[in-house]
Amino acid sequence: MIESILGANAAGGSPPRHVAIIMDGNRRWAQQRGLPPIAGHQAGARRLREIARASLRAGIEILTVYAFSEENWKRETSEVAELMELLRLFALRERASLRRENVRVGTIGRIEALPHATREALAKLRRATSGNDGLLLNLALNYGSRTELCDAIRSLARDVVAGKLSPAAVNDEVLSRYLYTAGLPDPDLLVRTGGELRVSNFLLYQIAYTELWSTPVYWPDFDAALLETALGSYATRQRRFGT
């Protein structure tokens, strides 16, 4: 069982607080089956629910998933529209179960650029689950790490010009307060499905000392057993944080 590997690990005897996932391979999964891309995204959305439940059981506090990148806008207009509708439906249909299962939903990224109906559904989902204190399911939407850093630096610079912050006071801790992930611990483990070995502009600042784990399995086939494997790998590692 997934809980069996989490009793002790080389990183300090506890499961990772924060797991990030690049959910890659939906379209390739669909292509292998002769299906349209949206079928892969639909299967991926169902898989997200399973992995959120497994993460909650495993004692993970935060699960941040790369759901829609800034670069994804470059896809076919019809596919983007289907993705936005799928996200809207996910937010509506999963609201009651996520609230009941003590999962709180958050978002990071430039959410204001999403379609109005999608934004409204997400806002209702966040409000409905805001009182939960179990797993935080953090959806990265219209997210790009370089944009996040630019937004953070602009906000920080405005505060310096306004006299609210001294340039000499700027350090890692201060800059972190201006990121979309302000208030959250950095990921302990980053999982990438689909076999690629790159981070694709995801949480570049936050994963400086994050443990990495990759699998060739496409996201729609990434199940709780594979999550257990990833957590098992993490449990064997000695984290040195650059020392």
DSSP state of 101: T
Helices 37-58, 224-235: inter-axial angle, 10-degree rounding: 50
Alpha helices (runs of H) in 11-131, residue ranges in sequence order: 26-32, 37-58, 77-93, 95-100, 116-129
In the annotation, is 26 catalytic?
Answer: no
In the annotation, is 132 catalytic?
Answer: no
Catalytic residue among 9, 26, 72, 172: 72
Catalytic residue among 9, 24, 138, 142: 24
155: left (phi over 0), alpha (psi -120 to 50) or beta: alpha
Cα separations in angstroms, 6 against 15, 122, 165, 211, 239: 5, 32, 42, 16, 16
Active-site amino acid positions: 24, 72
